[in-house]
Chain A
Amino acid sequence: MKVFGAAAAAACLVALPAMAQQLAPSPTLDAVKARGNIECGVHLGLPGFSYANDKGEWSGLDVDYCRSLAAAVLGDATKVKYTPTSVQQRWPVLQSGQVDVLARNTTITFSRNATLGVDFQGINFYEGQTFVVRTKAKVAAVKDLGDATICVAAGSTEEKTAADWFRERNLKVTIINFQKNDDAISAYDQGRCDAYTAGIGALAGQRIKFKDPAEHQILTEIISNDPQGPVTRWGDERWQLIVRWVLNAQIAAEALGVTSKNVDEMKAKSTSAEVRRLLGVEGKFGEMMGLSNDWAYTIVKQVGNYGESYERTVGMASPLKLPRGRNELWTKGGLLYTPPFQ
């Protein structure tokens, strides 16, 4: 009997280190590696966030997230297959496993989290809802829109936010729900509605689609908080971990001053322990997730940090010219904040 006990204990001791090397299984990660690309659900076409040019090349803030994920997981930011989805399609596409991640201007809400079987892995854009109106309508604030007709995309958070906002203030408005953003925009442009409502970032991009952008004015008043970020389906916690920390790495790189230009130098010379851990010089953080240790280095090298990506896609270097505002690092008065790489 004693011999058996000792043998069992010995077996356990031998088995323990082997088990510590074992990672929780991740069917999504295995599938991505086998397939050789990331399937990323994006917007049908929203300048600044996900937009394909006439050559079919995608660009935008959400697209940059997809590219970062591909850089981290596959070592190549170009290994992304984009699946453009409408407001309605995005959930079934994610739930059924057609896409690995959804990066599609999707607002985090309680009921989505509780009933759709999806999880939100962080915030890559703090959006706020507002309205675009014709300049000649002389609207200064949202409350001036009482009695107005408003075009909106059906099934978006904007549909409900607008309905609630006017109802709470006892203002009567007519809300017309279109199945696609583009239909709502062209109906507004045709004069079916007095206003079109969407997030302020989305409007900055969509304004380009109007026949005469100068005739329209985006109100500065914001009536909602719409935090948006990458979404995954329930289950596969290790894939969720990767999705979450790829976003954190983009933001942390900016906070730590690592850019696509100085990343090689930082990797070789930086004395900051956190930079060294982020770039995979110390700590073997990539291995803990089942990735290579230079995962974050590859992101910054190939895509850039969050700030670079923001300026290029929606910021001052882009046609949208959105100021950083709330999407600035916490050290500079914004809301972007990451847990430490420790």
Chain B
Amino acid sequence: MIRFLRDRKVRDVLWQAAATVAMVAVVWFFVQNASDNMVKAGIASGFRFLWRDSGIEVPFNLTGYKPSDTILALLWTGIVNTLLVSAASIAVATLIGFTVGLLRLSRNWLLSTLAGFYIEFVRNIPLLFFVLFWYFGVLATLPAPRESLSFLDVAFLNRRGLYVPTPDDVTGFRLALLATLILIALQIGLARWARSRQARTGRDFPTWLVGFGLCGALPVLAFVAAGALTPWDVPSLRGFNFRGGFTLVPEFVALFMALSTYTAGFIAEVVRGGVLAVRQGQIDAARALGLTQGRVLRLVVIPQAMPVIIPPITSQYLNLIKNSSLGAAIAYPEIVAVFMGSALVSTGQSIEIIAITLGIYLTLSLAVSIFMNWYNARHRLVTR
């Protein structure tokens, strides 16, 4: 037995097993203790409430949720809304962040000063303030429903949101989407062919120009054709508000603007740091080869900056997802507002609801981390 314990590997496994058992026991003790005490205090516990009718209105949802659905459906609606605002904000924050970060490094004094001003302004303001500023600021400047701004009498903008028409029939759009996917596949094939031809013969091919045609102009044409052939549900003013079509609520717009402009400030600094980490010799060498400024950036600087940029940018993405919970302050129906707010108060099951919400944020964050790590590993510079 003693000899057996002298084996270091065995000891390590035993220690880890003991630690796991202790951890499980502690968690089990707390759960048991809480549920015993709740039964004693007459507070309902368990997860059956998820299948109860919710009766809670959600003004903005993409899931087709109705108040007569269950609390589980309400939770799902909240998750979808969180994902929607996070995904949109991440995309735009990355775009603004890269642009501002590169501008900050520009040799043009005006551009780099403006970018620096933006970064310092955004980074030094509390996010909640930013969210409320966008919300009440946006609300105050928009007109009342009767004085809506109208775009060609099909889309309308007022304090209740942006009203856009929706197609009654989506078959045409499915076909257009299919055509776009085929065009994208074509473009990828073309790019591969162009690259191998360049490697073989050294002749350049205008891949980007053709790409704009294949993946830009043609799909737009396809969608326009589909739109012209489809009957539309156009919003119209009935009584108090517009009905029909799709409504983009001001809560979404405010939260989206706040999150994307705020996080962009941090991403810009990360990008600047990453670019500065690329040695000047690399840039000089690329210039000496006669590459244009754009190509130096695209082919030499950014590929070497990416491994430095991706880990901190991942944590910015995670922050953004978690920060989307501030939407609760302006009634954007994301998971904290509908589930930890409305559902928690109407059922009173705080422990279960908070545990579920924690679990969801944890899952989302881990998923983003895993994806970003995979992306980083895949695009790591192959050193020869």
Which residues does A use to contact B, with CB under 8 Å? 87-88, 91-92, 95, 111-112, 114-118, 137, 145-149, 151, 154-156, 159-160, 163-164, 167, 172, 174-179, 183-184, 186-187, 190-192, 194, 233-235
Interface hub of A92, A116, A172 (most chain B Cβ within 10 A):
A116
Asked if B348 contacts A175 (CB within 8 A), the reply is: no
How far, in Å, is B81 (CB) from chain A's closest CB? 13
Across the interface, which residues of B come within 8 angstroms of A115, CB to CB?
A: 43-44, 347-349
Q: Which residue of A lies closest to B338 (CB)?
A: A177
Across the interface, which residues of A come within 8 angstroms of B243, CB to CB?
A: 147, 172
> Which of the residues A95, A114, A163, A183 comes within 8 Å of B56, measured between beta carbons?
A163
Asked if A95 contacts B43 (CB within 8 A), the reply is: yes
Given A147-B243, A148-B239: A179 in contact with B57 (beta carbons within 8 A): no
Asked if B139 contacts A190 (CB within 8 A), the reply is: yes
Is B331 part of the binding interface, using a Cβ–Cβ cutoff of 8 Å? Answer: yes
> Which of the residues B139, B239, B348 comes within 8 Å of A146, measured between beta carbons?
B239
Q: Which residue of B lies closest to A87 (CB)?
A: B345
User: Cα distance A146–B238 when bound, in Å?
Assistant: 10
Given A154-B345, A160-B346, A177-B337: A190 in contact with B136 (beta carbons within 8 A): yes
Asked if B348 contacts A116 (CB within 8 A), the reply is: yes
Given A147-B239, A154-B342, A183-B329: A177 in contact with B56 (beta carbons within 8 A): yes
Asked if B160 contacts A149 (CB within 8 A), the reply is: yes
Asked if A179 contacts B139 (CB within 8 A), the reply is: no
Across the interface, which residues of A come within 8 angstroms of B337, CB to CB?
A: 154, 177, 179
Asked if B240 contacts A194 (CB within 8 A), the reply is: yes
Q: How large is the interface on B (under 10, 10 to 19, 20 to 34, 35 or more residues)?
A: 35 or more
How far, in Å, is A111 (CB) from chain B's closest CB? 8
Is B80 part of the binding interface, using a Cβ–Cβ cutoff of 8 Å? Answer: no
Given A160-B56, A163-B67, A177-B56: A88 in contact with B239 (beta carbons within 8 A): no
Interface hub of B41, B57, B342, B347 (most chain A Cβ within 10 A):
B57
Asked if A187 contacts B331 (CB within 8 A), the reply is: yes
User: Cα distance A123–B241 when bound, in Å?
Assistant: 39
How far, in Å, is A324 (CB) from chain B's closest CB? 31
Across the interface, which residues of A come within 8 angstroms of B238, CB to CB?
A: 147
How far, in Å, is B149 (CB) from chain A's closest CB? 14
> Which of the residues A155, A163, A164, A174 comes within 8 Å of B341, measured between beta carbons?
A155
Asked if B43 contacts A179 (CB within 8 A), the reply is: no
User: Cα distance A116–B160 when bound, in Å?
Assistant: 36
User: Cα distance A156–B341 when bound, in Å?
Assistant: 10
Across the interface, which residues of A come within 8 angstroms of B348, CB to CB?
A: 91, 112, 115-116
Chain B, 238-284, CB within 8 A of any chain A CB: 238-241, 243, 250-251
Is B126 part of the binding interface, using a Cβ–Cβ cutoff of 8 Å? Answer: no
Can you show 26 pairs from A to B with CB atoms below 8 A apart?
A88-B344, A88-B345, A92-B350, A112-B348, A116-B42, A116-B44, A117-B38, A146-B239, A147-B240, A147-B243, A149-B59, A149-B160, A155-B341, A155-B342, A160-B346, A167-B68, A174-B57, A174-B241, A177-B56, A177-B338, A178-B331, A179-B331, A183-B331, A192-B159, A192-B250, A194-B240
Asked if B57 contacts A148 (CB within 8 A), the reply is: no
Chain B, 280-306, CB within 8 A of any chain A CB: none
Q: Which residue of B lies closest to A92 (CB)?
A: B350
User: Cα distance A91–B42 when bound, in Å?
Assistant: 13
How far, in Å, is B85 (CB) from chain A's closest CB? 16
User: Cα distance A187–B238 when bound, in Å?
Assistant: 22
Given A147-B238, A187-B139, A190-B139: A159 in contact with B43 (beta carbons within 8 A): no
Q: Which residue of A lies closest to B159 (CB)?
A: A191
Given A117-B42, A174-B241: A191 in contact with B250 (beta carbons within 8 A): no
User: Cα distance A108–B331 when bound, in Å?
Assistant: 26
User: Cα distance A177–B67 when bound, in Å?
Assistant: 13
User: Cα distance A91–B346 when bound, in Å?
Assistant: 11
Asked if A95 contacts B41 (CB within 8 A), the reply is: yes
Asked if B136 contacts A175 (CB within 8 A), the reply is: no
Asked if B240 contacts A149 (CB within 8 A), the reply is: yes
Across the interface, which residues of A come within 8 angstroms of B350, CB to CB?
A: 91-92
Is B191 part of the binding interface, using a Cβ–Cβ cutoff of 8 Å? Answer: no
Asked if B67 contacts A167 (CB within 8 A), the reply is: yes
User: Cα distance A130–B59 when bound, in Å?
Assistant: 20
How far, in Å, is A96 (CB) from chain B's closest CB? 9
The 8 closest A-B pairs by CB, nearest first: A155-B345, A117-B42, A115-B44, A175-B57, A117-B43, A147-B239, A234-B42, A116-B348
How far, in Å, is A55 (CB) from chain B's closest CB? 28
Chain B, 301-352, CB within 8 A of any chain A CB: 328-331, 333, 337-338, 341-342, 344-350
Q: Which residue of B lies closest to A137 (CB)?
A: B240
Is B55 part of the binding interface, using a Cβ–Cβ cutoff of 8 Å? Answer: yes
> Which of the residues A88, A155, A177, A233 comes within 8 Å of B57, measured between beta carbons?
A177
How far, in Å, is A195 (CB) from chain B's closest CB? 9
> Which of the residues A87, A91, A112, A177 comes within 8 Å of B333, measured between beta carbons?
A177
5 further A-B contacts with Cβ under 8 Å, apart from A115-B44, A179-B331, are: A112-B348, A116-B348, A155-B344, A179-B337, A179-B341
Asked if A177 contacts B347 (CB within 8 A), the reply is: no
